[in-house]
Amino acid sequence: MAEAERIIGTPDIPDAEGGDGAGPQQSSEGSTPAGRGRKKILVLLVVAVLAYLLDLISKMIVVAKLEHEEPVEIIGDWLKFDAIRNAGAAFGIGEAFTVIFTAIAAVVIIVIVRLARKLYSLPWAIALGLLLGGALGNLTDRIFRAPGVFKGAVVDFIAPAHFAVFNLADSAIVCGGFLIVILSFKGLDPDGTVHKD
197 included as an active-site residue: no
Q: Which among 89, 49, 51, 54 has a CA at the least distance from the CA of 179?
A: 51
Catalytic entry in 12, 170, 189, 197: 170
CA–CA distance, 30 with 95 (Å, rounded to integer): 46
Q: How far apart are the C-alpha atoms of 1 and 61, rounded to whole Å?
A: 85
Catalytic residue among 141, 156, 191, 197: 156
Closest CA to 55 of 162, 159, 135: 135
- Kindly list the distances between the CA atom of residue 138 and the CA atoms of 4, 66, 70, 73, in Å, as whole numbers in the listed order: 78, 19, 24, 24
The CA distance from 91 to 124, in Å, is: 25
DSSP string, 44-108: HHHHHHHHHHHHHHHHHHHHHHTTTSPPEEEETTTEEEEEEEE-SSGGG--GGGHHHHHHHHHHH
Report the C-alpha gap between 58 and 64 in whole angstroms.
10
Does the active-site annotation cover 156?
yes
Q: Hey, what amino acid is at 152? A: G
Q: Give the active site residues.
A: 156, 170
